[in-house]
Copies of this chain bind each other. A is one copy, B any other.
Amino acid sequence: MKKKGFTDHLEIIGIDHFPEVKEGDDLTDLFFKALEEKREKLEDGDAIVFTSKIISKSEGRVVDLSGVKIGSDAERIAKETDKDPRIVQLILNETKEIVRTEKNIILVETKHGFVCANAGVDESNVEEGKAVLLPEDPQRSASRLKKEIEERSGEEISVLISDSFGRAFRDGVTGICIGVSGITALLDRRGEEDRFGKIARITKEAVADEICAAANLVIGEFKEGIPIAIVRGLKLKRSEGDIKEVLFNREDDLFR
């Protein structure tokens, strides 16, 4: 097994000039066209990070706010949090459990099992009066894209789907992973020896999240319009991969 750290050089390549994505668009096809325009070729081991927004748009996860039917829970929570009741209803539709509410923020566990603000429901980078939901099953989307891209390129690659989440105890958002296929989400280094020959006791590294954080340094949600980045040079073992690897069982979560 090749391990992380045996690489001493990585590249992160932003895929720009990507068109605005609409429902039904073939992302694999758009990706290869953008690669070609950039005169870039995939290499074995590339990790391709897609921002969740283009996945959601291609999968039709854009909601027209004027059509949202507001229930009494949404009405009440909207008042408490000073949010648009239509947005609150969309958040509740995506939610397994509300963790906490504050002014303008509803911290939830989504149906996927992600703990994040506002269930990832987002009004940025979409037409006025619309909102974008997280992909329905980003793990499945990652697997499908990986399969399609491998078939077309002939290279063994991995696909990660990223979003920007806030964190506990620190201000600001960072790129994190919500779906991964082709590499492990969590690199388990327990049992490896350190430089002094001692056995590591508790080092599980969330490499999928680190890769998405790295990609986020070139992926831009603003006018730059870079929705995809390739992280090249990782020497991670091939693995089915599943973002559930990083999701705690409720009883193991020190923070709830």
Contact = CB atoms under 8 A, between A and B. Distances in A.
Interface string A70-87: 000000000000000000
Interface of A: 3-16, 20, 100, 102, 104-105, 107, 114-115, 123-128, 164, 166-176, 185-187, 189, 192-196, 198, 200-207, 209-211, 213-214, 216-226, 231, 234, 245-248, 252-256
Given A8-B218, A10-B217, A14-B8, A223 B169 contact: no
A176 B125 CA distance: 28
A177 B128 CA distance: 36
B217 A211 contact: yes
B210 A175 contact: yes
Contact of A8 (B20, B203, B226): B226
Nearest to A185: B172
A247 B226 CA distance: 29
A206 B11 contact: no
Nearest to A10: B12
Contacts of A8: 13-16, 218, 226
Which residue among A167, A170, A254 has the maximum number of chain B CB atoms within 10 Å of its CB? A170
A104 to B, nearest CB: 8
A172 B204 contact: yes
A172 to B, nearest CB: 3
